[in-house]
């Protein structure tokens, strides 16, 4: 029988500062250790009183148009949490308190890599409590015209994604990843958020993207990438969609043992997928999480996922 994992938190507190992608607000954020079974929580320290705690939970999602935003019953919110949540998920952090003095997590360089670096600098500590996971027992699917998202049974957490854009710089891309043996850091964490130059003016007119720049996003114009440094991966666009999905799915409250596949999906469809999952108690069970046998790096890099039957017609 495989060893049951224990829950993890940070060894030490660690902080950073930056700007919000959409609000443009300058914020300071500190990630603190937390006790077992407390999960990931955000605390708005710019708001006085006891109403400033927001649990990172799918039931608290209030907006998922261009990012994932959560709020508590008092209406206190925190936006653009997906990259930080992806870092927590990818590095196996179960419990943490995130103190922040503004309405949006700093965008940093547009990826999850700075947050993963912070967590590693702070160190990781095991807690005296077993790690639990959500094991997918049967396929769950949500659809919209030309897009879908699915969860299906699998022995470990795997993700696949495909995208298609009219821009020749992006075009059609597909990627699959098995989140084991550091694959999140190697294959996903450095992929940056991206956007299209022709959309920037409209988004800013709508009060969004106030903090966006070539320092924190990949910007595409026609068949060109405008960033001087180019791309970090040849398929950085689809890898970032996987990154977003890792963060969105961690709002389930526990790691997932199953296979996710997204086709042109985004934050809203990812959230709907969690709603559909938890609406069907026969589709999942809570189980102790066991260690995954180590796999060679080349096996992870070459990993291919067969699409679940429910998704094959998308």
Active site residues per annotation:
267
Residues 218-226: contacts with CB under 8 Å, at least 24 apart = 218/110, 218/192, 218/193, 218/194, 219/194, 219/195, 220/167, 220/169, 220/170, 220/194, 220/195, 220/196, 221/196, 221/197, 222/167, 222/168, 222/169, 223/167, 223/168, 223/169, 224/169, 225/169, 226/197
**Beta pairing class for 26-33 and 284-288:** unpaired
Q: Tell me how long the chain is.
A: 314
Bridge partners of residue 132, in order along the sequence? 288
Beta-strand runs (E) in 216-283: 218-221, 224-225, 256-257, 259-263
Taking the C-alpha atoms of residue 181 and residue 185, their distance in angstroms, rounded to an integer, is 9
If we measure between CA atoms, which residue out of 251, 234, 255 comes closest to residue 90? 255
């Amino acid at each position: 029988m495989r060893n049951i994992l224990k829950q993890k938190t940070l060894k030490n507190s660690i902080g950073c500062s930056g700007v919000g992608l959409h609000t443009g607000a300058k914020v300071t954020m500190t990630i603190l250790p937390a006790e077992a079974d407390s999960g990931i929580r955000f605390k708005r320290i710019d708001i006085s009183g006891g109403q400033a705690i927001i649990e990172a939970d799918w039931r608290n999602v209030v907006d998922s148009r261009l990012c994932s935003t959560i709020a508590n019953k008092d209406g206190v919110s925190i936006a653009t949490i997906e990259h930080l949540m992806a870092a927590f998920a990818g590095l196996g952090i179960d419990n943490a308190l995130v103190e922040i003095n503004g309405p949006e997590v700093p965008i940093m360089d547009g990826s999850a890599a700075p947050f993963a670096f912070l967590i590693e600098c702070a160190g990781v500590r095991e807690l005296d409590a077993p790690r639990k996971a959500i094991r997918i027992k049967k396929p769950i699917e949500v659809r919209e015209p030309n897009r879908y998202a699915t969860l299906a049974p699998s022995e470990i957490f795997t993700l696949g994604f495909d995208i298609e854009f009219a821009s020749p710089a992006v075009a059609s891309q597909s990627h699959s990843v098995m989140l084991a043996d550091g694959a999140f850091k190697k294959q996903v964490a450095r992929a940056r958020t991206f956007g299209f130059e022709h959309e920037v003016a409209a988004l800013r007119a709508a009060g969004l993207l106030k903090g966006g720049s070539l320092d924190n996003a990949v910007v595409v114009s026609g068949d060109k990438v405008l960033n001087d440094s180019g791309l970090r991966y040849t398929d950085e666009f689809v890898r970032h969609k996987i990154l977003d999905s890792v963060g969105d799915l961690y709002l389930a409250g526990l790691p997932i043992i199953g296979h996710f596949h997204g086709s042109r999906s985004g934050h809203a469809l990812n959230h709907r997928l969690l709603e559909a999952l938890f609406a069907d108690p026969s589709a999942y069970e809570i189980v102790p999480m066991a260690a995954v046998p180590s796999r060679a790096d080349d096996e992870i890099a070459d990993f291919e996922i067969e699409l679940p039957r429910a998704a094959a017609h998308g």
